[in-house]
Amino acid sequence: MRILILLSLIFSVNSAFANIVVNGTRVIYPASNKETIVQLINNGNDPALVQSWIDDGDINSTPETANVPFLLSPPVIKVSGNAGQQLRIKKLPSSLPTDRESIFYLNVLDIPPTPDNLQGQNTMQLAIKTRIKLFYRPTNLQSISENAISTVEAKVENQGFRLTNTSPFYITIANINDDKGQKVLSESLMIAPFSNVFAPAKSPVKQGKTYSLLYVDDFGAYKDKSIVAL
């Protein structure tokens, strides 16, 4: 009997443990597109079985419990070794906001085959799940620009920053650096459109001081923008 244990840990897309790699760290789905395509690459020599699904924020979701306005095909696919395959995501009719982005998550589960010499035996197979952000972007919104980042305000509050995003985009802050290039935040964070979050600081922060806001653009690249603490 074969025992399959699914390890539901989320590794980064460039994890050394995963053979199946998603080409990109995020998916942008413009509302004007009929569908969007995600490229999968199998860096291993052996074929891999891949199961994919989309969730609306529940990290414990499964293909059976996920309920989202998207059709993903194929949901299960075999990817040959050192080869690639495509996933197609199509938006279904729904009433998502038109004045701001909506966020979902693409899950890609890499289920490795059982080695031939272990067939019929009790084995432990580790299935590695990659989970990346999927942003659905209304037609009137283009791409995250420096103008959008310029709307972010950082107000000193309780040994940290109250970060406010007045733009219609989800903004991912990798960190905030001081004038010496030292990281100030304890961890990265994401600010939803027209909302604010509290970001605790590892070191004292001061009003009127200029900091470097390190954010992630549409392509997953890190960019920085100067910001003065209020």
CA 177 to CA 164: how far, in whole Å?
A: 17
- Render pLDDT for 117-153 as a digit per residue (tens, 0 to 9): 555 566 566 788 999 999 999 999 988 777 889 999 9
Instruction: Please compute the mean of the pLDDT values over residues 32-40 and round it to a whole number.
Output: 97
**Strand, coil or helix: what is 116?**
helix
Is domain 146-228 in CATH 2.60.40.10, yes or no?
A: yes
Share of the chain above pLDDT 70, in %: 87
Q: Sort 202 into a burial class: Cβ within 10 Å, 0-12 / 13-18 / 19+.
A: middle
> Which top CATH class is 9-137?
mainly beta
Largest CA distance in the chain: 67
Q: Sort 207 into a burial class: Cβ within 10 Å, 0-12 / 13-18 / 19+.
A: exposed
Nearest C-alpha neighbor of 115 from the set 106, 124, 107: 124
The yes-or-no answer to whether 9-137 and 146-228 have a common fold is yes
Residues with Cβ within 8 Å of 83's Cβ and at least 6 positions away in sequence, in order, are 41, 42
Nearest C-alpha neighbor of 129 from the set 113, 106, 104, 145: 106
Distance of alpha carbon 181 from the chain centroid: 26
- Render pLDDT for 182-198 as a digit per residue (tens, 0 to 9): 999 999 999 999 999 99
Domains of the chain by residue range: 9-137, 146-228
Structural tokens at position 96:
């998502």
pTM across the whole model: 0.87
- Render pLDDT for 52-104 as a digit per residue (tens, 0 to 9): 999 999 999 999 999 999 999 999 999 999 999 999 999 999 999 999 999 99
Structural tokens at position 89:
């995501």
